[in-house]
Amino acid sequence: MPVIYDEVRMKNIEIAEIFYQIAELIEMDQPSFRSRAYEKAARNLESLEEDIEQVYKIGGLKALEDIEGIGKSIAEKIEEYLKTGQVKEYQKMLKKCPVDLLNLTAVEGLGPRKIKILYQKLNAKNLKDLEKVAKQGKIKGLEGFGEKSQQNILQGIEFVKRDKGRFLLGAILPMVRKIIDNLKELKEVDQISLAGSARRMQETIGDADILVTSDNAEKVMDFFVKLSGIEKVWAKGPTRSSVRFKDGFDCDLRVIKKESYGSALQYFTGNKYHNILARRIAIASRLKLNEYGVFEGKKRIAGETEKEVYQALGLSYIEPELRENNGEIEAALRQAQGKPNGLPKVIDYGEIKGDCHVHSNWSDGLYTIEQMAKEAKKTGYQYIVITDHTADLKIAHGLNEERLLQQAEKIDKINKKFKKFKVLKGCEVNIRQNGSLDIDDQVLAKMDLVIASVHSGFKISQDQMTQRVIKAMENPHVDAIGHPTGRVLLKRDSYQIDLDKIFAAAKQTKTALEINAYFDRLDLSGKEIKKAIEAGAKLIIGTDGHQLKHLFYMELGIAQARRGWAEKKDILNALPLEKFLEYFNL
């Protein structure tokens, strides 16, 4: 899945995706160093700051070979893709592969090796075959599998089927913004905005909607349907066109009259149930609300801006992220009438002062602490918390007590290089199944901020998981709980946990709950954030960044906070450095 905000480096991402697939195809055949080499090359391409096309144009094949992890053979494949748009060896491997590897690996817990066993023993070539043999109870009898594995596979298949055709907001947003930037270049375009679920910053979206005002709709439509990257034009009309991009998502463009721009934007932003309730209010006031305006009889009384549309309905303006029929209409009505319990003044996108969850190359990050700190300072932050993984998470090169103390000394030295910026010492400790942590308390006591997270043992009961996390919260050295539900968007549901009890414990123990901004987590959800705030819990937003570009995931985390009605006072890292340190008694 592409890294967000990297539209300039999309070729890097495209090639990385191919190399990840090649690695999996090799694993299917015979695990070897070759698969690891392709995985390493893919990771390095993802993190490469330069556009791979420019690297090749300037330095040719030799420049490609100079990139870390790229040998001659892999460099030649990059060259082939840049010249032809494909890698022949990859195409041959796909044709030879007897299974639908892409969709099968989308099932949580299934990697190439397990897929190979399922194919060889049960002839499961695709999701349909896999579901059939799982329902017949044939998987549990295979070596390395069992009843639990079989049930997990069935759940995973349902998850894949349910979310088919959905895209992560963080993957699509930069592409849609690039489309908007291209359209802005047309002098015929007056006003333009993203609409739909992407404007509401919903975690996953089905397609993208763009609205434009223009006196020359035909010119705008001609330009739109000829944008690069389009593989199919579904429809082209005088006021609406619909296309599919090669990345697999559909995009609709509508040209609206200026006097209806606000009402159209309100209507096409949604969501459906928010709009239904807004129309009911209009009807109760003997008005008519549609995408063309607010009408009193045949007279349009509002429509040019969204604010005047809501005002005509007797409502205060409602931010797009709140439009989920989650009580926002009623709150906007109370606010407009001067009553208490109106809309929140949701946190603004520029109000975060530091990133609370960042990894470095001491564990599984790709950059040094100093590099991550410099990028954070350049972003405008006052501080950053380095929270590398700890001992139990060996796959992420987790740090033991000795290494954590060494890292703390390193951070002290790095801080001497900065003015008006601070690198804080932290870690992301693992919550074991019994609620204990994988780092000694005496070392945790020396950290500025300790995040405790569940990284394994997801299938235990709700009561066990709840008590497990609460026990970690009761540790006086734990400052926050990371990605509290463990979900991975489009891949894995939340583990079973009683969030009401977690929110209450967070308030009691003064443990912050993280809004994890990583683009495939966005954990907690908007509704969960709202409940946490109502319960009196405090929150932090962390990008879970593993490379420089990941720090920009913060926008997604802030959007998630806004969707949860969070105000600046609810988010601890909206505090300036001095107040942040004071809150955590540092």
Q: Where are the alpha helices (DSSP H) in 105-200?
A: 112-122, 127-135, 147-162, 169-184, 196-199
The model's pLDDT over 321-366, given as tens digits with 9 standing for 90+, comes to 999 999 999 999 999 999 999 999 999 999 999 999 999 999 988 8
Q: How far, in Å, CA of 555 to CA of 197, rounded? A: 16
Structure confidence at residue 459 (pLDDT) = 87
Q: Is the pLDDT of residue 164 over 90?
A: no
Q: Is the pLDDT of residue 210 over 50?
A: yes
Angle value at C-alpha 327, between 197 and 290, nearest 5 degrees = 55
Report residue 565 CA to chain centroid gap: 19
Of 104-113, 264-273, 408-417, where does mean pLDDT reach its minimum? 104-113
Beta-strand relationship, 250-256 and 207-213: parallel
- Higher per-residue pLDDT: 388 or 42: 388
Q: Is the pLDDT of residue 189 over 80?
A: yes
Angle value at C-alpha 481, between 476 and 486, nearest 5 degrees = 150
* Residue with tokens 């932050």, as numbered in its chain: 381
Structure confidence at residue 10 (pLDDT) = 65
Please, what CATH class does the domain formed by 354-583 belong to? alpha beta
Q: What percent of the chain has pLDDT over 90?
A: 66
Same fold, 167-256 and 354-583: no
Both tokens of 556, joined, read 């997604």
Q: Is the pLDDT of residue 3 over 60?
A: no
- Is the previous residue joined to 271 through a cis bond, with omega within 30 degrees of 0? yes
Q: Is the pLDDT of residue 4 over 60?
A: no
Q: Is the pLDDT of residue 432 over 80?
A: yes
- Is the previous residue joined to 154 through a cis bond, with omega within 30 degrees of 0? no
Q: Is the pLDDT of residue 16 over 90?
A: no
Sequence-ordered strand ranges (E) for 265-330:
288-290, 293-296, 299-302
Please, what CATH class does the domain formed by 167-256 belong to? alpha beta
Residue 286: strand, helix, or coil? coil
Distances (CA, A) of 485 to 155, 453, 466, 473, 531: 17, 10, 10, 14, 14
Q: Which residues pair with 252 in a beta bridge?
A: 209, 242
CATH 3.40.50.1970 fits 260-336, yes or no: no
- Which residues are CB-neighbours of 226 under 8 A, at least 6 positions away? none
The model's pLDDT over 510-542, given as tens digits with 9 standing for 90+, comes to 999 999 999 999 999 999 999 999 999 999 999
Q: For the chain, what is the radius of gyration of the CA atoms? A: 26
- Higher per-residue pLDDT: 262 or 25: 262
The end-to-end CA distance of the chain, in Å, is 38
CB atoms within 10 A of CB 56: 20
Q: Is the pLDDT of residue 229 over 90?
A: no
Q: Is the pLDDT of residue 6 over 60?
A: no
CA neighbor of 450 nearest in space, from 493, 509, 498: 509
Angle value at C-alpha 134, between 133 and 135, nearest 5 degrees = 90
DSSP state at residue 288: E
Locate the domains of the chain by residue range.
Answer: 7-162, 167-256, 260-336, 354-583
Indicate the average pLDDT of the chain.
91
CB-based contacts of 101-105 (< 8 A; 24+ apart in sequence): 101/21, 101/24, 101/25, 101/28, 102/21, 103/127, 103/160, 104/130, 105/24
Q: How far, in Å, CA of 581 to CA of 574, rounded? A: 12
- Higher per-residue pLDDT: 165 or 251: 251
Are the C-beta atoms of 567 and 345 separated by less than 8 Å? yes
Dihedral, CA atoms, 237, 240, 242, 245, nearest 10 degrees? Answer: 110
CATH number of 7-162: 1.10.150.110
Q: What phi, psi does 389 have (nearest 5°)? A: -65, 160
Q: How far, in Å, CA of 69 to CA of 39, rounded? A: 9
DSSP for 436-473, please give it: -BSS-HHHHTT-SEEEEE--S-TTS-HHHHHHHHHHHH
Q: Tell me the whole-structure pTM to 2 decimals.
A: 0.82
* Residue with tokens 């394994």, as numbered in its chain: 456
The model's pLDDT over 303-318, given as tens digits with 9 standing for 90+, comes to 999 999 999 999 999 9
Confidence of residue 5 (pLDDT cuts 50, 70, 90): very low
Q: What phi, psi does 335 have (nearest 5°)? A: -65, -45
Structure confidence at residue 169 (pLDDT) = 93
Structure confidence at residue 1 (pLDDT) = 32
